C-alpha cells in the first residue's frame, strides 16, 4: 500500500487534477439524477408476508391513504357559502388526474340511507346548495340523524366538515402535493381550511427534507472549519481536510444517483455524517506531521510525507475499514433507507480514506508545510511535562474510581435499555409546533383520526358476513375498541351499514339501531342497498361474496404504541371469531408501519451483533492478537450500552433515523481504539518501556483523538438545528457517543492495556 501511494505521489499535481475532475463528474450525475422518496411502502421489502397480504387486502377493498381537507366555519358549516365550497372543492378534486372522482368523499357525495314507503332508498344529502334557512336546516337535520355521517364527515359541534380524497401510492408527486395545497388555499376565507393525511405528511417530508439538508450542510461546514482552524491552527490544513470530506460527499451522492437509488429522509443526514467523520483521517495525518516536524524541523517535504505515510497509512486504512464495517452491517436490515444509508456511508468513508492518503500528501508536496509558530520557553516547559503525560499518570492513580464510575453508569444504562421503544411514525418526525402537526391535531380533535388500521375478517364460506353472530361480534369489537382506547376516535364496518338499514326500516326508532337477528333479513337489506345505492361504497367494507370483510379503526396518532394498543384489543376477540370460522388479519399503511418497526428492531440487533463480531475479528487480525481485538471493542460496547440507555431514560424512540446510532457509535468510535492501540504497539516495540509507551501513546494518539472527537462532536451537534426532531435526537446522541467512546478509549481501554501487559509479554 505504501509503495502504491508513493508511486501516485510522484506526480502530485496530476493526481490532484484527476481527483478534481472525477469529483466534478460525480457532482453532475448527482445534480441530474437525484430524487427524493417518502412513500412508506417503498421503504419496505415488498415480498414480506405481511406486506403481500396487506397489498392483497388493499386491492380487494380499495384501501388507499386519504388526503383529508377540513373546512372550518366558527358560525357553523350549514351556510350557503360554506356548503358551496364543499361542493366546488369536491368537484375540483375529482377532476385532478391523480384522483378518481369516485374516491372523493364529502357531504356532497356521501350516501344518506333512508326509509321510504316502498322500503329503503339511498339519496344524496344535497345536489344543489340551498339558499334558504329552511333548506340548510333540512340538511343539518339529515346529518344529525345519520350516525354514519355525524361525527365522521361533520364534527359534533357542526363547525367543521371534511373532504377525503383517496389516492394510490403510485400517483403522488411533489408537483401534485403543491397543486393540492394551492387548490385548498384558493378556497380559504372566511372559512379556514386544513390539509392532513398520510400523503400530505409524506409530501411535507419530501419537501422539507432537501431544504433541511441544504440548511444543515453549510452550517456543519462552517462549524467544522472553525473547529479545525482552532485545533490545527492552519488555514492550509483546514482547506485540504475540508476538500477531502466534500469530495467524499459528492462521490457518495453521485454514486447513489448513478445507480438510481433515491434519497430517503434518513439519507439527508449523509452529508453531515461524512463531513463529521471524514475529517478524522486528516486530523491524524496532520497531527503526525506536526509531531514529526517538531523533532525534525529541517526535514524536506518528501521526507515528511514519506514518514507520514509510513507511520499513518496502516491506522488510517484500518480505521476506515472498521468504520465502514459498522455501516455495512446495516445491510442486515430489511428497511431500505437504513440499508442504503449503510452502503453509501461506507462508500463515502472509504472515499474519504483514499482522498486523505492521496490529496493531503499531494497538497504538502505542492504547497509546502503549514506555517508553524516558533517555540517559546513556555512551550519547552510544557513539552517536558505535557498534560497528556499527567493525564496518563492520573488514570493509573485513580483507576478504582474510574472503574467504579464506569460500572455504575453501565448499570443505569442497562436499566434504560429496557425502556427503549420503536416508532415508525412519519408525523413524529416533525416538530410539535410545525404546521403539519398542528393541522393533524386539529382534525383529530374534531374527528375520528387521521390514521387508519384495517382489520380483515375472512370466512370459509360465502355469505358468512351476513351472519348475525359475526356482525354482532364485529359491532361488539368496534364498541370495545372505541370505548377502551382514547387514541381510537372511530371505527367503521359492515355492521354500521346493517344497523343504519335496520333503523331506517323501522321509522328511525333508536331501539332498532342494532344488528338484525335474522340472516335472511340481513340479506334482504343488503340486496335493497345494492339496488338503491352505490354498491362501490359497500365493497369497501365487504367483498362481493360476503366472505371477507374490512373494518377500519381510526386512530388519533400514527405512532407504534397507538397501533399496538388497537391491535391488542382486536387480538382479545380472535378466539371468538375463530369459533365462528373467521380468521383475523391486518392491512393498510398503519399496520405496515407497525411491521416496519419490528423490522427496524430486528435489523438493529443483527447489525449490532454482526458489526461487533466482525470488528473484534478485524482487530485481532490487524494486531495479530485476540486480546487486542477484545480490548479494542470494550469502549464501543460501553458506548453502545450508554447510547441506548440514554434513549430509554429520555424516552427517545428507535426510528429509521435513531436506529443508526449503534452503527455510528461502533463505526466512528472504533477509530479511537485502533489509533491508540496501533501507536501503543509502535512505542512498545521502539522503547520496550511500559511507562514511556503509555505516555508516548497518550501524547501522540490521545492528542489526535481529542482533536478528532472535538470536531466530530461539533459536527453532529449541528443536527440540533434540524427541523426534524429525530435528527436532533441523533445529533445529540452521536455527540454523546463520541464523547463516551473517546473517554472510554483513554481511560478504560488504557487501563486494560496497562494491566494486560499487551505487547510486553508476561509479567516476571
Angle between helices 703-717 and 198-232 (to 10 degrees): 150
Average pLDDT rounded to a whole number, residues 629-653:
89
pLDDT in tens, 671-692: 888 888 888 888 888 888 888 8
Average pLDDT rounded to a whole number, residues 304-314:
86
Q: Which three cell numbers stand for residue 183?
A: 387548490
Residue 646 neighbours by CB distance under 10 Å: 22
8 vs 314, higher pLDDT: 314
DSSP for 429-494, please give it: GS-TTSHHHHHHHHHHHHSS-SEEEEEEEEESSTTGGG-HHHHHHHHHHHHHHHHH-TTEEEEE-H
- Domain range annotation of the chain: 1-33+234-368, 48-202, 386-418+625-764, 447-559+566-588
* Contact indicator for 345, 251 with CB cutoff of 8 Å: no
Residue 255: the pLDDT is 92
pLDDT in tens, 473-525: 999 999 999 999 999 999 999 999 999 999 999 888 889 899 999 999 999 99
577 vs 387, higher pLDDT: 577
Of the spans 11-15, 341-345, 570-574, 618-622, which averages the highest pLDDT?
570-574
On average, the pLDDT of the chain sits at 85
Lowest mean pLDDT, pick from 103-112, 115-124, 249-258, 459-468: 115-124
pLDDT at 63 over 70: yes
The H or E element containing residue 420 is: none
Residue 470: the pLDDT is 95
Residue 150: the pLDDT is 92
Q: How confident is the model at residue 384 (pLDDT cuts 50, 70, 90)?
A: low
Distance (Å, rounded) from C-alpha 386 to C-alpha 567?
Answer: 62
Domain 447-559+566-588 has CATH 3.30.70: yes
Nearest to 329, CA basis, from 615, 34, 49: 615
* Contact indicator for 240, 360 with CB cutoff of 8 Å: yes
Residue identified by cell 439527508 is 268
* Contact indicator for 67, 162 with CB cutoff of 8 Å: no
Q: Which three cell numbers stand for residue 202?
A: 409524506
Q: Which three cell numbers stand for residue 58?
A: 388493499
Phi-psi region of 604 (alpha: psi -120 to 50; beta: other; left: phi over 0): alpha
Average pLDDT rounded to a whole number, residues 610-619:
85
351 vs 611, higher pLDDT: 351
Beta carbons within 8 Å of 56's beta carbon, 6+ residues apart: none
The H or E element containing residue 658 is: none
pLDDT in tens, 423-479: 777 788 888 888 888 898 999 899 888 888 999 999 999 999 999 999 999 999 999
* Contact indicator for 426, 436 with CB cutoff of 8 Å: no
Give buried/exposed letters for 361-380 (b at 16+ CB in 10 A, else e).
Answer: bbbbbeeebbeeeeeeeeee
Beta carbons within 8 Å of 564's beta carbon, 6+ residues apart: 594
DSSP for 600-628, please give it: HHHHHHHHHHHHHHHHHHHHHHHHT-HHH
Beta carbons within 8 Å of 708's beta carbon, 6+ residues apart: 279, 280, 283, 284, 671, 672, 742
Distance (Å, rounded) from C-alpha 391 to C-alpha 702?
Answer: 10
Distance (Å, rounded) from C-alpha 245 to C-alpha 282?
Answer: 9
Is there a cis peptide before residue 536, judged by omega within 30 degrees of 0?
no
* Contact indicator for 754, 694 with CB cutoff of 8 Å: yes
307 vs 422, higher pLDDT: 307
Q: Which three cell numbers stand for residue 89?
A: 372543492
In the chain, pLDDT over 90 holds for what percent of residues? 30
Beta carbons within 8 Å of 328's beta carbon, 6+ residues apart: 342, 343, 346
List Cα–Cα distances, 650 to 559, 647, 657, 713, in angstroms.
17, 5, 16, 20
Q: How confident is the model at residue 4 (pLDDT cuts 50, 70, 90)?
A: low
Backbone angles phi, psi at 586, to 5 degrees: -135, 155
pLDDT at 124 over 70: yes
Average pLDDT rounded to a whole number, residues 329-351:
85
* Contact indicator for 109, 88 with CB cutoff of 8 Å: no
Burial of 21 (0-12, 13-18, 19+ CB in 10 A): exposed
pLDDT at 669 over 50: yes
CATH of domain 1-33+234-368: 1.20.1640.10
Q: Which three cell numbers stand for residue 420?
A: 427503549
Residue 710: the pLDDT is 84
Q: Which three cell numbers stand for residue 630?
A: 477484545
* Contact indicator for 26, 329 with CB cutoff of 8 Å: no
Residue 8: the pLDDT is 65
pLDDT at 379 over 50: no
**386-418+625-764 matches 1-33+234-368 in CATH topology:** yes
Specify the CATH class of 386-418+625-764 in words.
mainly alpha
Model confidence pTM above 0.95: no
Nearest to 549, CA basis, from 501, 468, 495: 495
422 vs 348, higher pLDDT: 348
Helix, strand, coil shares, percent, the chain, to 5: 70, 10, 25
DSSP for 665-731, please give it: HHHHHHHHHHHHHHHHHHHHHHH--HHHHHHHHIIIIIHHHHHHHHHHHHHHHGGGG-SSHHHHHHH
Q: How confident is the model at residue 381 (pLDDT cuts 50, 70, 90)?
A: very low
Beta carbons within 8 Å of 724's beta carbon, 6+ residues apart: 208, 212, 265, 429, 430, 431, 657
Distance (Å, rounded) from C-alpha 147 to C-alpha 448?
Answer: 13
pLDDT in tens, 714-748: 888 888 888 888 888 888 888 888 889 888 888 88
List Cα–Cα distances, 615 to 321, 671, 676, 759, in angstroms.
9, 11, 15, 20
Sign of the Cα torsion 130, 132, 135, 140 reads positive
Q: Which three cell numbers stand for residue 276?
A: 463529521
Angle between helices 336-367 and 270-295 (to 10 degrees): 30
Residue 372: the pLDDT is 57
* Contact indicator for 478, 493 with CB cutoff of 8 Å: yes
Residue 761: the pLDDT is 57
pLDDT in tens, 697-708: 888 777 778 887
**DSSP-assigned letter for residue 197:** S
* Contact indicator for 551, 454 with CB cutoff of 8 Å: yes
Lowest mean pLDDT, pick from 101-105, 530-534, 758-762: 758-762
pLDDT at 10 over 60: yes
138 vs 373, higher pLDDT: 138
645 vs 382, higher pLDDT: 645
Nearest to 544, CA basis, from 466, 467, 474: 466
DSSP for 73-128, please give it: -TT-S-SHHHHHHHHHHHHHHHHSTTS-GGGEESTTT-EEEEEETTEEEEEES-SS
215 vs 475, higher pLDDT: 475
Q: Which three cell numbers stand for residue 644?
A: 441506548
Residue 533: the pLDDT is 64
Distance (Å, rounded) from C-alpha 122 to C-alpha 113?
Answer: 5
pLDDT in tens, 390-409: 777 777 788 888 889 999 99
Lowest mean pLDDT, pick from 66-70, 73-77, 125-129, 601-605: 601-605
* Contact indicator for 740, 645 with CB cutoff of 8 Å: no
pLDDT at 662 over 90: no
Amino acid at each position: 500500500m505504501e509503495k502504491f501511494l508513493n508511486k501516485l505521489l510522484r506526480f502530485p499535481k496530476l493526481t490532484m487534477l484527476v481527483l478534481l475532475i472525477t469529483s466534478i463528474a460525480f457532482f453532475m450525475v448527482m445534480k441530474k439524477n437525484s430524487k427524493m422518496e417518502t412513500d412508506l411502502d417503498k421503504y419496505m421489502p415488498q415480498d414480506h408476508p405481511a406486506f403481500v397480504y396487506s397489498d392483497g387486502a388493499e386491492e380487494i377493498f380499495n384501501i388507499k391513504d386519504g388526503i383529508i381537507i377540513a373546512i372550518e366555519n366558527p358560525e357553523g358549516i350549514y351556510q350557503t357559502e360554506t356548503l358551496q365550497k364543499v361542493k366546488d372543492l369536491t368537484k375540483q378534486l375529482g377532476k385532478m388526474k391523480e384522483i378518481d372522482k369516485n374516491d372523493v368523499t364529502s357531504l356532497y357525495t356521501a350516501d344518506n340511507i333512508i326509509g321510504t314507503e316502498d322500503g329503503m332508498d339511498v339519496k344524496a344529502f344535497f345536489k344543489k346548495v340551498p339558499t334558504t334557512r329552511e333548506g340548510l336546516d333540512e340538511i343539518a337535520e339529515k346529518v344529525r340523524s345519520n350516525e354514519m355521517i355525524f361525527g365522521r364527515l361533520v364534527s359534533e359541534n357542526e363547525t367543521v366538515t371534511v373532504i377525503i380524497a383517496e389516492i394510490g401510492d403510485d400517483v403522488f408527486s411533489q408537483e401534485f402535493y403543491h397543486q393540492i395545497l394551492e387548490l385548498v388555499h384558493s378556497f380559504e376565507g372566511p372559512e379556514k381550511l386544513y390539509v392532513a393525511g398520510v400523503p400530505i405528511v409524506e409530501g411535507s417530508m419530501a419537501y422539507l427534507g432537501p431544504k433541511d439538508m441544504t440548511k444543515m450542510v453549510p452550517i456543519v461546514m462552517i462549524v467544522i472549519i472553525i473547529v479545525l482552524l482552532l485545533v490545527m491552527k492552519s488555514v492550509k490544513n483546514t482547506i485540504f481536510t475540508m476538500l477531502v470530506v466534500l469530495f467524499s460527499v459528492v462521490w457518495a451522492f453521485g454514486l447513489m444517483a448513478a445507480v438510481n437509488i433515491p434519497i430517503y429522509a434518513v439519507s439527508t443526514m449523509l452529508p453531515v455524517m461524512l463531513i463529521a467523520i471524514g475529517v478524522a483521517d486528516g486530523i491524524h495525518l496532520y497531527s503526525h506531521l506536526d509531531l514529526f516536524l517538531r523533532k525534525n524541523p529541517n526535514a524536506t517535504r518528501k521526507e515528511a510525507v514519506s514518514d507520514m505515510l509510513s507511520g499513518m497509512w496502516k491506522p488510517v486504512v484500518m480505521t476506515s475499514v472498521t468504520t465502514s464495517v459498522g455501516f455495512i452491517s446495516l445491510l442486515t436490515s430489511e428497511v431500505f433507507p437504513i440499508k442504503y444509508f449503510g452502503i453509501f456511508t461506507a462508500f463515502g468513508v472509504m472515499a474519504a480514506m483514499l482522498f486523505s492518503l492521496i490529496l493531503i500528501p499531494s497538497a504538502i508536496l505542492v504547497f509546502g508545510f503549514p506555517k508553524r509558530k516558533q517555540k517559546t520557553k513556555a512551550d519547552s516547559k510544557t513539552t517536558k511535562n505535557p498534560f497528556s503525560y499527567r493525564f496518563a499518570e492520573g488514570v493509573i492513580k485513580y483507576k478504582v474510581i474510574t472503574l467504579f464510575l464506569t460500572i455504575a453508569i453501565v448499570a443505569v444504562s442497562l436499566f434504560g435499555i429496557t425502556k427503549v421503544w420503536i416508532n415508525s411514525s412519519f408525523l413524529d418526525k416533525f416538530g410539535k409546533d410545525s404546521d403539519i402537526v398542528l393541522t393533524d391535531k386539529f382534525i383529530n380533535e374534531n374527528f375520528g383520526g387521521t390514521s387508519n388500521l384495517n382489520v380483515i375478517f375472512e370466512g370459509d364460506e360465502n355469505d358468512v358476513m351476513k351472519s348475525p353472530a359475526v356482525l354482532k361480534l364485529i359491532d361488539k369489537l368496534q364498541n370495545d375498541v372505541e370505548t377502551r382506547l382514547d387514541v381510537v376516535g372511530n371505527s367503521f364496518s359492515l355492521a354500521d351499514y346493517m344497523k343504519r338499514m335496520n333503523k331506517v326500516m323501522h321509522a328511525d326508532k333508536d331501539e332498532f339501531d342494532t344488528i338484525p337477528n335474522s340472516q335472511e333479513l340481513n340479506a334482504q337489506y343488503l340486496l335493497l342497498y345494492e339496488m338503491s345505492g352505490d354498491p362501490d361504497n359497500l365493497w369497501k367494507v365487504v367483498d362481493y361474496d360476503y366472505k371477507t370483510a374490512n373494518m377500519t379503526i381510526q386512530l388519533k396518532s400514527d405512532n407504534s404504541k397507538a397501533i399496538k394498543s388497537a391491535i391488542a384489543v382486536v387480538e382479545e376477540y380472535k378466539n371468538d371469531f375463530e369459533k365462528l370460522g373467521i380468521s383475523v388479519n391486518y392491512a393498510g399503511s398503519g399496520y405496515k408501519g407497525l411491521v416496519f418497526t419490528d423490522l427496524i428492531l430486528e435489523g438493529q440487533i443483527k447489525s449490532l451483533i454482526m458489526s461487533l463480531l466482525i470488528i473484534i475479528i478485524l482487530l485481532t487480525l490487524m494486531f495479530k492478537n485476540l486480546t487486542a481485538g477484545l480490548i479494542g471493542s470494550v469502549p464501543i460496547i460501553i458506548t453502545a450500552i450508554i447510547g441506548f440507555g440514554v434513549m430509554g431514560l429520555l424516552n427517545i424512540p428507535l426510528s429509521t433515523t435513531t436506529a443508526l446510532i449503534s452503527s455510528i457509535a461502533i463505526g466512528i468510535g472504533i477509530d479511537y481504539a485502533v489509533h491508540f492501540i496501533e501507536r501503543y504497539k509502535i512505542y512498545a516495540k521502539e522503547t520496550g518501556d511500559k511507562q514511556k509507551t503509555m505516555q508516548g501513546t497518550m501524547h501522540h494518539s490521545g492528542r489526535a483523538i481529542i482533536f478528532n472527537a472535538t470536531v466530530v462532536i461539533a459536527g453532529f451537534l449541528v443536527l440540533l438545528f434540524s427541523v426534524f426532531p429525530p435528527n436532533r435526537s441523533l445529533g445529540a446522541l452521536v455527540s454523546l457517543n463520541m464523547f463516551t467512546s473517546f473517554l472510554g478509549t483513554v481511560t478504560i481501554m488504557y487501563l486494560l492495556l496497562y494491566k494486560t501487559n499487551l505487547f510486553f509479554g508476561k509479567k516476571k
